[in-house]
Amino acid sequence: MDHANRCYLPVEHSLLIPSIVRSFRAEFEARCGRGRQSCRAAVLPKVLDFDEARGDFVYARARKPVVPAG
C-alpha cells in the first residue's frame, strides 16, 4: 500500500476504522440487527472559532438535533 499522501488522515482512517470494527464486532452486529429503532438524535454544534490562547473551541448553539439517516 502506498502511504505517500500529502495528508495522513485518510491513511489513519483506513487503519483505524477496520480495527475498531474488528475489536467490537459483536457490538456492531447487534447494533445492525436493531436498525434505527434505538437511534437517538445527535447534537452536532457548528465550530465557530478556535481560541488559541485557551486552547478551546467556540461552538454555535445547536438549533435542533441531527437525526441519523437510514
Condensed to tens digits (0 to 9), the pLDDT of residues 16-67 reads: 889 999 999 998 888 877 766 666 666 678 889 999 999 999 988 766 655 6
Q: Is 11 exposed, middle or buried (0-12, 13-18, 19+ CB in 10 A)?
A: middle
Task: Please tell me whether the overall predicted TM-score, pTM, comes out greater than 0.75 for this model.
Answer: no
Euclidean distance between CA atoms 31 and 21, whole angstroms: 12
Euclidean distance between CA atoms 11 and 17, whole angstroms: 10
Contact 43, 61 (CB under 8 A): no
In a domain, 68, yes or no: no
In a domain, 48, yes or no: yes
Task: State the total domains in the chain.
Answer: 1
In a domain, 16, yes or no: yes
In a domain, 52, yes or no: yes
Q: Per DSSP, which regions of the chain are E strands?
A: 47-51, 56-59
In a domain, 1, yes or no: no
Contact 41, 69 (CB under 8 A): no
